[in-house]
Amino acid sequence: MLFEYSNKTIKSIRVKITDKPGYLGRLTSLVGEMDGMFGEIKSVHIGKGYKIRDLDVYTDGEEQLKAILKEVEKLEGIEIIAVKDIVEEYHQGGKFKIVPTVPVETIDDLKIVYTPGVASICKQIAADKSLANQFTTIPNNVAIVTNGTAILGLGDIGAVAGMPVMEGKALLFSCLADINGIPILIESHDSEVIIETVKNIAPTFGAIKLEDIKAPECFEIESRLQSMLNIPVMHDDQHGTAVVVLAALLNIAKYTFINLHQSSVGFIGLGAAGTGIFKLLKAYGVTKLIGTDLNADAKKLFSELGGTPTDLNGVMKDSKIVIATTGCPELIKPEMIQSGQVILALSNPNPEIDPELAVKSGAIFAADGKSVNNALAFPGLFKGALSSKARYINDRMKIAAAKTIASFALEGDLVPNILNRKVHDAVALAVEQEAFKSGAAVNPE
């Protein structure tokens, strides 16, 4: 997924600080001056004349962290006790587990949930497969499928190396939507292997979530699987990202009085994220869409889908709204900015142009990818699709999700808090309703 701090180092520094005014302030100021960022700061012990605190510090790598620690050691009244890798601690043993939903405390309980009691349920499903929706977890299971070719900003590191990301998706499914997300790792670059594997395991699931599969293979894999299966198949890097970007643009349009439908939108980068955003904006009704990519085949596909290919200068010159998803920091130069443009430089950890610099250079609004995270979309999207028993997730469902997400943002914000459960519940309801209205789900008799 594009929009994460994939290259940040996070460490927890335990320090003993003299409990007098100014000491903690000097420490935090030093870290800030050296371009470090703080996460959580908490007191773990209060002694006579001192406090012991844990400070989560974000840096751009080990060398920057070492430099910060070296300077902290010089501060009077502050002693470094320990430096812990909290990311490793959180990942010990993995991040999720499967738990039972019914108690099994006696032999009689076991006879009910397993043999011999389970046989009667199996017989009923054998006679009527639709009863699996009533008697099993299938309608609430989502396969999280990856081959590891586009993991975060790390690239092709393999499916097993991508497992921590898939576990994170499973955790979010559980926490935000009460869905069973089950990682499926496929160590293959062959699209046919991926398609055949997913087709064969599909009966286990109510939906398929393709994750971190690189372009252009992801387009064919998604399309062919959806044509084969009667359950939703969605590539999250395309469509989850697109939903959240559309939500952000809806609020930007409100704050800046821009007519989104009539604005020219330019895309720098036409990979999975850029193409997904383009497709959804086109479905929303934006007609002036131009784009560029270093890959000639990507530009050709963009043209076939209805976009107008150009070069970097053409995008910057002719677009009211610029959306960059290249992974190339500082690609957009200040002199390229047109007065009154909206700039979304969405690559992390370093955007194509710093938002503050873009505004100073003439942009009416600018943002980077730190707040545009597709985890705001996929839990509710899939929950709504599953609840409605939709056969697929269409553009109308995605647009309903985007509008709902936008409506929950606080005044001045692009999108709401990702951990606000009410947002995901509202998205699920909006998607479910739109699934029935649009024909993606069959209305019950």
Q: State how far the Cα of 380 lies from the Cα of 405, in Å rounded to an integer.
A: 10
Confirm if 321 and 344 have CB atoms less than 8 A apart.
Answer: yes
Which helix (H) or strand (E) is 79 found in, with range? strand 78-84
338: DSSP letter: P
Q: State how far the Cα of 399 lies from the Cα of 16, in Å rounded to an integer.
A: 51
The angle that helices 421-438 and 395-407 make with each other, rounded to 10 degrees, is 150
Confirm if 267 and 288 have CB atoms less than 8 A apart.
Answer: no
Catalytic residue among 169, 209, 383, 389: 169
Q: State how far the Cα of 279 lies from the Cα of 305, in Å rounded to an integer.
A: 8
Q: State how far the Cα of 307 lies from the Cα of 288, in Å rounded to an integer.
A: 8
* 58 catalytic per annotation: no
Token output for 85: 């890798």
**DSSP helix/strand/coil, 381:** helix
Q: State how far the Cα of 385 lies from the Cα of 391, in Å rounded to an integer.
A: 8
**Distance from CA of residue 363 to its chain's centroid?**
26
| CA triple 276-441-218, angle to 5 deg | 25
Q: Alpha-carbon Rg of the chain, whole angstroms?
A: 24
Residues 6+ apart with CB under 8 A from 245: 277, 280, 323, 344, 346, 372
Per-state percent for the chain, helix, strand, coil, to nearest 5:
45, 20, 35
Q: Which of 366, 364, 360, 369 has its CA nearest to residue 334? A: 360
**Distance from CA of residue 346 to its chain's centroid?**
12
Q: Which of 382, 378, 394 has its CA nearest to residue 436? A: 394
Catalytic residue among 70, 114, 317, 437: 114
Token output for 144: 């999280």
Residues 6+ apart with CB under 8 A from 445: none
Amino acid making up residue 348: N
* 403 catalytic per annotation: no
β strands within 304-426, DSSP E: 308-309, 321-324, 342-345, 365-368
Residues annotated as part of the active site: 114, 169
